[in-house]
Structure 1
């Protein structure tokens, strides 16, 4: 009991320190140290690189790297106060599924299959901007905190007391590995916020934000039926498009004042 009495004030301090706001102004609680999140993201990405084939098509790589570079540069300008990784690594994986992800620590993965759905550079920018939005808004940290509750705090305390020896158990407890960034079930609030940020980022980068709506229509056609929205962590395609259109006026104003992006090859 005396240990808990000593620990409780520290836990309360951690929770207060973890209360913050996302780049859009939403309050959030994220208790895992940013440095640890970045380390785990880098480790998970390295594991993916070892286990998954990497796309060798030079034209595909040029396109993805051009779009990602434009998006990252625009994100830094659009959200200057967000925690931005110092460097970003971009890899195209030879995977037919239409997917992309961004991890803490500045790692972006794009599946070649995404280019069957994202038919233009602007549509690809909508996806990468969305994923970068997840990182800048610290959604992974927030989600882990929500899922683990007090366990997350105790693991952090254990990490501080045990150092490097606690890192591997913590990664296992958080379920982090090759699936980080792909299977993490972000909430609908996270998805909507990442959509909003991605729209602002792609517009700032000089990509037509209206292409985000075209992208999600393509996704709807490619994905077939969805579960009811109340049963899903992701918004239904129609709801997603409606929300994007609600922010479109501001995004178009930013797009018209930005230099046009040129990633056409």
Structure 2
């Protein structure tokens, strides 16, 4: 899965326009670095590559192999560092929970030939299932939705991750309100369209909030006070 993630990310970088804004890149890198620092050491991946893509899409993703992609359209809806951390933390959580692995059976993984992921992505017969396993559509920039249980798990794990890093978990609820407002009278943001309904998500986040706030207070007491500014 790491080989597939790395190969897919390289392909996306070749086909998508990478943002030339140093400010945006530094901002997202700052937030991502603090989240990655809280990933358990046993996961093995310590260095994550972060790229901001120049696109109006309100979206982000993370891939096995330590890859994070953020479309700068997201930065217009996520109003502060905590709200961006809520999205990036959620996407990292999908990788930590190995949700990509759950998309395909062992037989399918074997058929893909993971030892030659770069070749697989170049062959039309294997490229589509390989990309789908990672939550990516063959069309560049199109992200496939995870299952309902996977989204809920990523919400919970992402909330804990951002709280441990010193980001205010309560801002996650404000973020989804912003998402809902951005969809008023028009097609919903890409990120919102692939996730549970606003009401369901808010209810589940509220249920997980007491634990997240306890982690947040503990992190602040340890001196973890992110100051990432755009």
- Give the TM-score range, shorter chain: 0.7 to 0.9
Seen in structure 2, the aligned counterparts of structure 1 residues 65 and 233 have a Cα distance that, compared at 3 Å, is closer
* Structure 1: gaps of 5 or more residues: 1-36, 146-151
Match in the other structure for 1:13: none
> In structure 2, which of residues 216, 225, 229 is the aligned counterpart of residue 260 of structure 1?
225
Cα distance between partner residues in 2 of 1:158 and 1:92: 29
- TM-score, normalised to structure 1's length? 0.73
> In structure 2, which of residues 141, 155, 161 is the aligned counterpart of residue 201 of structure 1?
161
CA-based RMSD of the aligned residues comes to: 2.7
Residues 3-61 of structure 1: CA deviation (Å, up to 9, x unaligned) = xxxxxxxxxxxxxxxxxxxxxxxxxxxxxxxxxx1111111111111111111112111
* Structure 2: gaps of 5 or more residues: none
Instruction: Return the index of the structure with the highest Cα Rg.
Output: 1
- TM-score, normalised to structure 2's length? 0.83
Q: CA deviation at 1:254?
A: 0.7
> In structure 2, which of residues 183, 195, 212 is the aligned counterpart of residue 234 of structure 1?
195
Residues 232-257 of structure 1: CA deviation (Å, up to 9, x unaligned) = 86311110011011010010011011
Residues 199-241 of structure 1: CA deviation (Å, up to 9, x unaligned) = 00000000000000000111111124799xxxx8631111001
Cα distance between partner residues in 1 of 2:184 and 2:50: 29
**8 Å contact kept, 1:101–1:109:** yes
Q: Does 1:153 align with 2:107?
A: yes
> In structure 1, which of residues 111, 116, 121 is the aligned counterpart of residue 71 of structure 2?
111
> Match of 2:82, SS?
helix
Give the number of aligned pairs: 213
**8 Å contact kept, 2:4–2:130:** no
